[in-house]
Amino acid sequence: MSNTSKIIASVRQQGRTVLTEIEAKQVFSEAGISTTATVLASSQTEAVALSEKIGFPVVLKVASPEITHKTDAGGVKVGLKNKAEVRKAYSEIMASVRPKYPKAKIYGVSVQSVARPGIEIIIGVFKDPQFGPVIMFGLGGIFVEVLKDVAFRIIPIVRRDAAEMIKEIKGYAMLNGYRGHEPAHIPSLEDILLKVSDFVEKTPGIKEIDLNPIFAYKDSAVAVDARIVLEDKP
Ligand code: ADP
Ligand code: MG
């Protein structure tokens, strides 16, 4: 049984449909998509120990399948430089998130290295009632949220579709580099689109995917946040 099947089976068994960031990143890693290595700390002490092991600076994020927008809940702290900052961040995350989600199951926090800044990309999947799974590509931040500058294709896609999706967004020029950003490596972004499409095709029961953001660099791309939602019924 693949690691992915085990994770999905265990999520189902717990009566959940949402994978945590850590579970989703394990699944995407197995699908060949590069993600920041992320581990679960179930206590403050463990968060400190894991941060030391990974090496500073680190990022702490609330780990709960019930909290979709971690930043909005005060559940993300980026750039923690030492043990004291990690300890403080852990307390602050719990203090901020708990009152907002009094009933949520919180596993602790995820711990990962701070990724080098890149051009922020979003890749997503949702189910259209008529066309089935649809894959989406866009630039992060205001490009998606305000300008709705995104491209869609029905899954499955081939490399030419992936290439066209990337080229057809209005912000395409941004991928050539701007404001001191290095350009984005287009083949790496095409690869992620294809791997997501393949994954959805061969994995039954996927309802929704969010890789938001992916940091694109001049020679690679890495997903720093990941989310998978399963269909209600297997
Ligand atoms: P959410 O989308 O649930 O609010 P994210 O995991 O996307 O939470 O984190 C929020 C923001 O923090 C991201 O958009 C990104 O800018 C930044 N971030 C998250 N993880 C990392 C990381 N490993 N390295 C650098 N920045 C990160
Ligand atoms: Mg995110």
C-alpha 55: how far from chain center: 21
Residues 6+ positions from 15 with CB-CB distance below 8 Å: none
Could you give the domains of the chain?
3-113 (3.30.1490.20), 119-230 (3.30.470.20)
Which numbered ligand comes closest to the C-alpha of 211? 2
Expressed in angstroms and rounded, the spacing between residue 212 Cα and the centre of ligand 2 is 4
pLDDT digits (tens, 9 = 90+) for 20-37: 999 999 999 999 999 999
Q: Which atom of ligand 1 is nearest to the CA of 112?
A: 23
In this predicted model, what pLDDT tens digit does every residue of 204-230 receive, in sequence order? Answer: 999 999 999 999 999 999 999 999 999
C-alpha of residue 9 to centroid of ligand 2, in Å = 24
Q: State the pLDDT at residue 88.
A: 98
Q: Which of 65, 63, 69 lies closest to 112 in space, CA to CA? A: 63
126-141 burial by CB neighbour count: b if 16+ within 10 A, else e? ebeeeeebbbbbbbbe
Report CA(225)–ligand 1 centroid distance (Å). 6
Averaged pLDDT, 178-196: 94
- Separation of first and last alpha carbons in the chain: 17
pLDDT of residue 180 exceeding 90, the answer is no
